[in-house]
Structure 1
């Protein structure tokens, strides 16, 4: 058992001990390559020693520019084991934004997926770092795997302390100064304890979204509990369905737009998905109508997890609450997790009673340390131990939490506020609509107008006017979109959320040309 001199254990210690308890079990699968628990454990210790040999150590930043490789998991564990803070870049950001982040977090070493060496060169031209380490042979940097192979795989105690920063995760857009969310090693242990339970050696988790996002936490939980992780590089509905059947996947995490694509794929009807026992969704608002469709397609295996990088886990809507006859429950984010406090407050900071809309505020031992080098922004969202999430919602009399909108997405129109998720729910309820995204666009008078982008079901003929008539009839003129456009698929962010910034930009450009 690996324990630091002061007795503090990190999540990495826990996972390395779990890997060592059954070294022959299959831990990671990637493109037909299968890595045992023992092999992964040895690689982590070897990598950690290789990093230390480069002079890298506690309190420094290691940035990952990596896809979903087994070695990516090992590199994160190795860096955290020696007390480094880890920043994992989203691969689909521009080189300019990636470079700004690399520089901002004071990167000491950049660890690069060999498939991303060209992008690494672009980033390094803008933001040079002391050490460039490649997960394999490449024309730039040093081969970290070769360096690790020269090192011992003997265990050693972690070098982190509870208050040291463990991870810096960036969020909040692709322009301006990015927000780096800092989580300490102590908070990482708390967070892992609040994730959906993944127990048993038959648990097989499929990862098909970036390890830089929520999937990374699920890998940690799975490996800790004795399960196996199958890694896909990115989401492709056909590939995901085939992998579920071939690898007998039991656990799956998807953001709602990706879940919709999965169940709408033609292969879904004749793919054997009976191995699935737990399909977790979250990360952005889900449509009750589409979630009901998913329950009918995959069975009573769905669970919604609501959380934020800033706040950790907040609430869960369990599988037994996924009643297709109860759209009110499907609309909610479930009940607040044990150990988490939630209040709903108005603009003056007053706690609101059940049923009233306000900002969701959270208090728990998972809340971030703060935003990297942004004390004023940290003070704005962290007040008296409460994190102000920026989400608008309400708690009902039975303790179910419902998210209505993001404060920044709420559209202010003449006569009141339009909650984008409520309008999306209504549009998605139309039998010929698969998905929608609602957002505000300012006109020449700087007034916000409601816009919607809609993905129609194959073969449907519903048009803009019919949908506008439906909205006006159901919700009134205030909610009626000024414009509805149709697309084959919604653009998504790197994490898999609808990219409303891109949709808004498109609408503004179209308006300028009109």
Structure 2
């Protein structure tokens, strides 16, 4: 991407929005409120404090934190200096996090004081030159204290369009992470998925999942649009519903499984949720039956997005599209500047209706994987991002995502079982709230179908009932070797069912 003199990073645009109305509240967290002037000042002083410690453009700053307002300011400050920022996902071991820290050449680790012990463990295993905490802690130096000594005057951005802005990790890692490089110029090209202009009523975005994932980008867009971000530390359906009512939330982002939890919670029936204008969901394929339940509960305000860290958002199923039940299994249509084709294993473009690998070209494609040129060439060597997802396009251009290539279960005889198909059948049962289907190899090396099912409380649904339903709708090939009832599905930090953990449970039970 060529540099232009007029380039302004996303951080500068947010700073402009904060300066335009300095007295308004822009972040709410627990009982705290942070005004636009306070946030703007904090960004500048944090950046100056880091610069005084020798932090410069092109260095890596890694963040270890919950959803604190200060960690959002720290990201903006690091990006103002032209640094690349890397988040550590929660739920990973210290060893895995240390491997990521080492791999992305972290110079600075900024930690939530509540995670001081984990920060100490990481820095024992990885070489980090500077350890800061956002408040007093038994390790590192208090970056907020250092910032308080700095001038509050604006600081010119050092970022360039072609510089790496964010490093986002995808998949698991035990030694060599797969980090996706996203540049400052790419971030400027990200689409606004919902209309945040509410006239006299400013948008109020509720962030109840990790800042390290898509919710962080949506927070950026809300602040740039002149809105307010309400931060929760994690997702709890009762708390989310109460917060929507109490805070007049207009926008909400959740993964499909979390949307189901909101739909099913008894408080959803009597909370005043009329302020909501959009519920954006994405992360993995949603169940049409469960989406129909959500539409009955919340109205036609659902918006689905499909994409990957490698591609950015590719397709959107609009709120209007949700009014057509036949489209609820789709992921919507490609955005105007996205190209989507379906290819077979030889790279041949397949015709409408045929299933194959979803391949994408877009202005928000990643530059590549960090220090993985061979993998980068494999994924985007022909100019298309090969997503690893299986899907098809219909006559109207709507994309149906069937499954991940790696998640397809190849059973005896070489037949393919698509987990999403089986999950749809299970989720459509009146006594099933959620399900996850996955493959596990048995002692003979054959892959077997397994399912974990969350039943409606106090229901009498049995394994035999669900087996009969599967037999009727999909046939015996889809019958799982085990079908386990669970109180809840384990979720990853971004809110996806943790199928690796579920596979581990099946393997442990087989020992």
* Greater mean deviation of Cα atoms: 176-185 or 395-404: 176-185
Cα separation, 2, equivalents of 1:176 and 1:480: 36
3-state SS of 2:37 partner: helix
The answer to whether the 8 A contact 1:283-1:497 is kept is: yes
Cα separation, 1, equivalents of 2:174 and 2:496: 17
- The corresponding residue for 1:70 is 69
1:353 maps to 2:351: yes
- The corresponding residue for 1:463 is 462
3-state SS of 1:408 partner: helix
Cα separation, 2, equivalents of 1:312 and 1:197: 18
- The corresponding residue for 1:491 is 490
The answer to whether the 8 A contact 1:108-1:129 is kept is: yes
- The corresponding residue for 2:372 is 374
Q: How does 1:296-311 map to 2 (within 5 A)?
A: 296-311=296-311
Deviation at 1:198, TM superposition (A): 1.8
Cα separation, 1, equivalents of 2:445 and 2:330: 33
Cα separation, 1, equivalents of 2:309 and 2:196: 20
The answer to whether the 8 A contact 1:433-1:454 is kept is: yes
Could you say if the C-alpha distance between residues 220 and 256 of structure 1 is closer, same or farther in structure 2, counting changes exceeding 3 Å?
A: same
Q: What is the TM-score of this pair, normalised by structure 1?
A: 0.97
- The corresponding residue for 2:194 is 196
- The corresponding residue for 1:443 is 442
- The corresponding residue for 1:210 is 210
Note the alpha carbon deviations across 1:388-438, whole angstroms, 9 max, x for none.
Answer: 011100000011001000000011113421111111001000001000000
The answer to whether the 8 A contact 2:215-2:253 is kept is: yes
The answer to whether the 8 A contact 2:99-2:174 is kept is: no
1:342 maps to 2:333: no
Note the alpha carbon deviations across 1:165-200, whole angstroms, 9 max, x for none.
Answer: 100011112434221111011111112x34333224
The answer to whether the 8 A contact 2:99-2:175 is kept is: no
The answer to whether the 8 A contact 2:448-2:481 is kept is: yes
Q: How does 1:81-480 map to 2 (within 5 A)?
A: 81-191=80-190, 193-200=191-198, 201-323=201-323, 326=325, 328-415=326-413, 416-480=415-479
3-state SS of 1:57 partner: coil
* Greater mean deviation of Cα atoms: 156-165 or 489-498: 156-165
The answer to whether the 8 A contact 1:194-1:313 is kept is: no
Deviation at 1:134, TM superposition (A): 0.8
1:57 maps to 2:42: no
3-state SS of 1:444 partner: coil
The answer to whether the 8 A contact 1:93-1:494 is kept is: no
Note the alpha carbon deviations across 1:77-131, whole angstroms, 9 max, x for none.
Answer: 0000011000011122111111111111111010011111111111111113111
Cα separation, 1, equivalents of 2:152 and 2:407: 50
3-state SS of 1:331 partner: coil
The unaligned stretches of length 5 or more in structure 1 are none
3-state SS of 1:440 partner: strand
Cα separation, 1, equivalents of 2:466 and 2:174: 34
3-state SS of 1:133 partner: strand
Cα separation, 2, equivalents of 1:461 and 1:314: 41
The answer to whether the 8 A contact 1:455-1:488 is kept is: yes
The answer to whether the 8 A contact 1:209-1:254 is kept is: yes
Cα separation, 2, equivalents of 1:495 and 1:368: 20
Deviation at 1:462, TM superposition (A): 1.1
Could you say if the C-alpha distance between residues 190 and 76 of structure 1 is closer, same or farther in structure 2, counting changes exceeding 3 Å?
A: same
Deviation at 1:154, TM superposition (A): 1.5
3-state SS of 2:146 partner: helix
The unaligned stretches of length 5 or more in structure 2 are none
Cα separation, 1, equivalents of 2:477 and 2:128: 52
Note the alpha carbon deviations across 1:50-101, whole angstroms, 9 max, x for none.
Answer: 1100000101000000111111110000000011000011122111111111
Cα separation, 1, equivalents of 2:272 and 2:293: 17
Cα separation, 2, equivalents of 1:421 and 1:173: 21
* C-alpha RMSD over aligned residues: 1.3
- The corresponding residue for 1:33 is 32
Write out the 4+ residue segments of structure 1 that deviate beyond 4 Å after TM superposition: none
Cα separation, 1, equivalents of 2:230 and 2:35: 12
Deviation at 1:509, TM superposition (A): 1.4
Note the alpha carbon deviations across 1:279-316, whole angstroms, 9 max, x for none.
Answer: 00001111010011000001111000111111001000
3-state SS of 1:445 partner: coil
Q: What is the count of residue pairs matched by the alignment?
A: 506
The answer to whether the 8 A contact 1:255-1:283 is kept is: yes
Cα separation, 2, equivalents of 1:329 and 1:383: 33
The answer to whether the 8 A contact 1:195-1:221 is kept is: no
The answer to whether the 8 A contact 2:256-2:281 is kept is: yes
Cα separation, 2, equivalents of 1:367 and 1:469: 44
3-state SS of 2:152 partner: coil
3-state SS of 1:322 partner: helix
